[in-house]
């Protein structure tokens, strides 16, 4: 018997052919309709989400997981606004990446084209459902959405609203489909659907991502966990540094671009450590520090595991380093290659840091929280890639396309 996932993938494949030929106006009309549908169905979506949140809380889910799961009217409005912003962005399909006329007179163009069918495997966050559907539709891709069972009611309500809007706008509703989350087998089937699914994008914790990367026969774009560092250099403006560290750690703890580790140059440690520890503790943060940090009240000892941890909570690892090179070595050892930041007024130090640190985003005198598709002006993102092939960093519309060569001749033969 054909599995339900294969049936969904076959329907997505069939629908993707028409979507690849859709005009920007058609896709933008669908995106606007999808945004309107989220608002029109707000009560139903929030009621479904309340079921998921209550189930998670009853099951003892950690606060950061519940925060990722929870929708509010403001967050739902933000999801709708994200779809509208995607509608306002240029259509990547058909963009000429490069072109030339060869010596023999052949006209050569490399143009952006959709992948075809994209599979999304993700945890908890129901906002990803709308973001992924919108970005895939605008880039001409059908999408198979496999969220977590913890968000099953929310995702079902969101996808129902989106599919109805897509159909009302004149496109095939099967370009957006929800893969059942009632069994782990559906994840495995999606990972084995090579030939029907063109690319998989996992978004979630380290275990999920590792499983998809290692077990999938479908090509994978790896989105990584965020063990993000802030390094306060000897030439830092300490007022700037304090604001950046507190923002990077506490503005929203449950996201992958929140800072998880703090490094401070020894030359400014005496002046900065009391200030930053007090500010973090006032915000409810537990500091896991080395011996220098442990000299301050309330700091708990840090282990190797702490320095490698993506906490996603009000915790941060911290260490004093003797120089810039030591900071870079620490980051190379423990970083997940997501986002690192340096706070410094020394241009040479900033340049060396940005050249030597190999992460998807490196920031100078700015919070790690800026590594985000919306903040970068890409509109809603589908994830932040920490791999080095095809796409790296926040993945917007261009990253959701491949390319093909169009060669035009006039009776040319070889």
Q: What is the pLDDT of residues 175-224, one digit of tens each?
A: 999 999 989 999 999 999 999 999 999 988 788 888 998 999 999 998 87
Q: How many CB atoms lie within 10 A of CB 101?
A: 10
- The Cα 304–Cα 320 span in angstroms is 15
**pLDDT averaged over the chain?**
95
Q: Closest Cα to residue 327, out of 192, 230, 226?
A: 230
Q: Which two three-digit tokens encode residue 407? A: 């060669």
Q: Pick the residue with more confidence: 123 or 317?
A: 317
Spatial neighbors of 20 by CB under 8 A, at least 6 apart, are 93, 113, 114, 116, 140
Residues 211, 146: contact at Cβ < 8 Å?
no
pLDDT number for residue 230: 98
Q: Pick the residue with more confidence: 125 or 72?
A: 72
**64: pLDDT confidence band, cut at 50, 70 and 90?**
confident
Q: Closest Cα to residue 307, out of 273, 262, 268?
A: 262
**378: pLDDT confidence band, cut at 50, 70 and 90?**
confident
Q: Which two three-digit tokens encode residue 188? A: 């495995």
pLDDT number for residue 307: 98
DSSP at 173: G
Q: Closest Cα to residue 5, out of 124, 162, 158, 178?
A: 178
pLDDT number for residue 367: 98
Residue 396: its H or E element:
none
Q: Is the pLDDT of residue 274 over 90?
A: yes
Residues 169, 83: contact at Cβ < 8 Å?
no
pLDDT tens digits, residue range 276-294?
999 999 999 999 999 999 9
Does residue 231 sit in helix, strand or coil?
strand
- The Cα 216–Cα 251 span in angstroms is 35
| Percentage of the residues of the chain whose pLDDT score is greater than 70 | 99
Mean pLDDT, residues 372-393 taken together: 84
Residue 170: its H or E element:
none
Distances (CA, A) of 30 to 27, 84, 91, 169, 323: 5, 10, 14, 5, 53
Spatial neighbors of 21 by CB under 8 A, at least 6 apart, are none
β-sheet bridge partners, residue 277: none
pLDDT number for residue 383: 85
Q: Is the pLDDT of residue 408 over 70?
A: yes
Q: Is 250 left (phi over 0), alpha (psi -120 to 50) or beta?
A: alpha
Q: Closest Cα to residue 36, out of 192, 176, 162?
A: 162
pLDDT number for residue 68: 86
pLDDT tens digits, residue range 347-369?
999 999 999 999 999 999 999 99
Report the predicted TM-score, pTM, of the whole model to 2 decimal places. 0.86
pLDDT number for residue 36: 98
Q: Is the pLDDT of residue 1 over 70?
A: no
**124: pLDDT confidence band, cut at 50, 70 and 90?**
confident
Q: How many CB atoms lie within 10 A of CB 297?
A: 9
Mean pLDDT, residues 171-178 taken together: 98
pLDDT tens digits, residue range 94-105?
999 999 999 999
DSSP string, 266-315: HHHHHHHHHHHHHHHHHTTPEEEE-HHHHTSTTPEEP-HHHHT----SSE
Mean pLDDT, residues 100-116 taken together: 97
pLDDT number for residue 255: 87
**388: pLDDT confidence band, cut at 50, 70 and 90?**
confident
pLDDT tens digits, residue range 304-350?
999 999 999 999 999 999 999 999 999 999 999 999 999 999 999 99
């Amino acid at each position: 018997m054909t599995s339900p996932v294969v049936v969904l993938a076959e329907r997505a494949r069939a629908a993707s052919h028409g979507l690849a030929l859709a005009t920007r106006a058609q896709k933008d009309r669908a995106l606007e309709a999808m945004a309107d549908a989220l608002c029109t169905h707000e009560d139903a979506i929030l009621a479904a989400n309340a079921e998921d949140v209550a189930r998670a809380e009853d099951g003892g889910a950690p606060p950061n997981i519940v925060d990722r799961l929870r929708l509010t009217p403001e967050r739902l409005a933000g999801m709708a606004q994200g779809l509208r912003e995607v509608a306002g962005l240029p259509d990547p399909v058909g963009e000429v990446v490069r072109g030339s006329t060869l010596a023999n007179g052949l006209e050569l163009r490399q143009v952006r084209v959709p992948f075809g069918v994209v599979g999304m495997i993700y945890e908890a966050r129901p906002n990803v459902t709308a973001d992924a559907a919108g970005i895939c539709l605008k880039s001409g891709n059908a999408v198979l959405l496999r969220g977590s069972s913890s968000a099953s009611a929310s995702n079902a309500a969101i996808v129902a609203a989106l599919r109805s809007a897509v159909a009302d706008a004149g496109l095939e509703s099967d370009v957006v489909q929800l893969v059942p989350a009632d069994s782990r087998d559906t994840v495995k089937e999606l990972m084995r659907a090579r030939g029907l699914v063109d690319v998989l994008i996992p978004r979630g914790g380290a275990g999920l991502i590792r499983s998809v990367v290692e077990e999938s026969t479908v090509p994978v774009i790896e989105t990584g966990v965020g063990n993000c560092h802030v390094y306060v250099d000897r030439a830092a403006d300490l007022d700037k540094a304090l604001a950046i560290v507190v923002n990077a750690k506490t503005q929203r703890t449950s996201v992958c671009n929140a800072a998880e580790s703090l490094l401070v140059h020894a030359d400014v440690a005496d002046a900065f450590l009391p200030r930053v520890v007090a500010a973090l503790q006032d915000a409810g943060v537990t500091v896991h520090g080395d011996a220098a940090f442990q000299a301050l009240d309330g700091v708990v000892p840090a282990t190797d595991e702490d320095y490698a941890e993506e906490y996603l909570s009000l915790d941060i690892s911290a260490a004093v380093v003797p120089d810039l090179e030591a900071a870079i070595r620490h980051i190379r050892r423990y970083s997940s290659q997501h986002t690192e930041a340096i706070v410094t007024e020394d241009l040479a130090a900033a340049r060396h840091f940005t050249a030597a640190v190999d992460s998807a985003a490196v920031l100078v005198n700015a919070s790690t929280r800026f590594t985000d598709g919306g903040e970068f002006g890409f509109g809603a993102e589908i994830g932040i890639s920490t791999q080095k092939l095809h796409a790296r960093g926040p993945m917007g519309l261009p990253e959701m396309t491949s390319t093909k060569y169009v060669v035009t001749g006039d009776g040319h033969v070889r």
